[in-house]
Structure 1
Amino acid sequence: MYAIISEIDNPSGETVNQIWHKLCEACGLGAIYATPTPHFTWLVAEELDVEKSKLNLSEIVKSSPVISTHTFGLGLFSGGHPVLFLPMVKTVEMIHLHQHIWNEISPYTKDLNKYYSPEFWLPHITLALKDINRENLACAINEIGFEKIELNVSMTSLAIAEHEDEKIGTILERFPVRN
């Protein structure tokens, strides 16, 4: 599986890492550590022409503004494999950049994840996934559900990430955003 992601600024990333650590220690939620870095995701696909995507992303990042937004509260994608996350305020700049990335990269993909399409996309920073069950979800809510978690998040890059089941994800290519 491949994803186009944006890594986040260091202070926000450190806070997310602290939350990951807290959830791992208190609730046994450690699957998040297969994620290469604190980030939010623009596009997910089972297959990606990496070389063509690199060329397009290198051009996209040249004209992209630094995206800054806020997180507040907690979110949960429910279902058989719940995901706990920090919801991000979707700005006009994010919407435009997301559409641009989608238009430029999706022709080089197969099996796009529809939940990352412009129609469904809910930008978020994942806190726990894959190893959530009823007990540790309750633990997670008890651990962080009563804390005020608000971040001012800035993206630092666009990146191509690859992740295979049971392996730690890797960043294949990183394109820093110019300030």
Structure 2
Amino acid sequence: MHAVVTVLQPELYHRVEALWDDLERRFGLSGARITPIPHFSWQIAPEYDFARVEDCLQTVAQGLAPFEVETTGIGVFRGPAPVVFIDVRRTPALDALHVRLWEALRPHRRRESPYYSPEAWRPHITLAEKDLSPAHVERVVSHLSRLPLRWTVAVDNLALIEQPQGAVGRLRFSRRFGAAG
């Protein structure tokens, strides 16, 4: 599954990596590292026209100024394959950019995830997934809830993570807001 994302600024990038290290050490969880780039996603899809997506992201990023959002603490997507994450608070600026990206990228993707549609999207920074069992969610959440996870996140870039089925994700393209070419 490929993703259009915002990569976290260096300080938070390293904090997330440290949290992944901690979760692996304490609970044996390493599934989040299948996409080893700390980020939050705007949308995901199994198929993109990469060249056109890169052009689109370049154009959108060039016309934007950086802004900030806040995280609100730990969240959980429940079910047979749970995900533990840091929740990113939706704001009018974040929502407006999300809708713009959703529409601009529509012709360049196939079979997008409905969870990333403007109505359903819940921006988040993944901490544990893939190897997290429903039985262990509460222990992981209990541990993480003691940590300071209310952060200010700079939204200053758009990036494309390429991740073919079963492969580790890699950063294919990244563009800072306001940067030309």
TM bucket, shorter chain: over 0.9
> Does the CA-based 8 Å contact 2:52-2:108 persist in structure 1?
yes
1:176, distance to aligned residue in structure 2 (A): 1.7
Greater shift after overlay, 108-117 or 141-150?
A: 141-150
Larger displacement relative to structure 2 (140-149 or 86-95): 140-149
Structure 2: any 5+ residue segments left out of the alignment? Answer: none
What one-letter code is carried by the residue in structure 2 that aligns with 1:94? L
What is the identity, as a one-letter code, of the residue corresponding to 1:146? R
CA distance in 1, matches of 2:102, 2:178: 20
Q: Is the 8 A contact 2:80 2:133 kept in 1?
A: no
Matches within 5 A, 1:1-179: 1-178=1-178
Question: How far 1:167 sits from its partner (Å)?
Answer: 1.9
User: What's the CA shift string for 1:112-167, capped at 9, x where partnerless?
Assistant: 10000101011111111111013432331232122232111113421111113432
CA contact (8 A) 1:3 1:42 kept: yes
Structure 1 distance, partners of 2:67, 2:7, is 11
* Cα deviation, residue 5, structure 1: 0.5
User: Matches of 1:87 and 1:157 in 2, distance apart?
Assistant: 19
Query: TM (normalized to structure 2)?
Result: 0.93
Deviations 1:77-122 (A, max 9, x none): 0111111000011111111111111111111111110000101011
Structure 1 portions without partners, runs of 5+ = none
Amino acid at match of 2:133: N
Return the letter of the residue paired with 1:112. E
| Cα separation, 1, equivalents of 2:178 and 2:36 | 22
Give the whole-Å Cα distance in 2 for the aligned partners of 1:110 and 1:134. 31
Supply the RMSD in Å over aligned alpha carbons. 1.5
CA contact (8 A) 2:89 2:123 kept: yes
Indicate the SS of the match to 1:43.
strand
1:71 aligned counterpart, secondary structure: strand
2:76 partner letter: L
Number of equivalent positions:
179
SS in 1 for 2:46: strand
Q: After TM superposition, which residue ranges in structure 1, 4 or more long, deviate above 3 angstroms?
A: none
Per the TM alignment, residue 57 of structure 1 is displaced from its structure 2 partner at its CA by 0.8
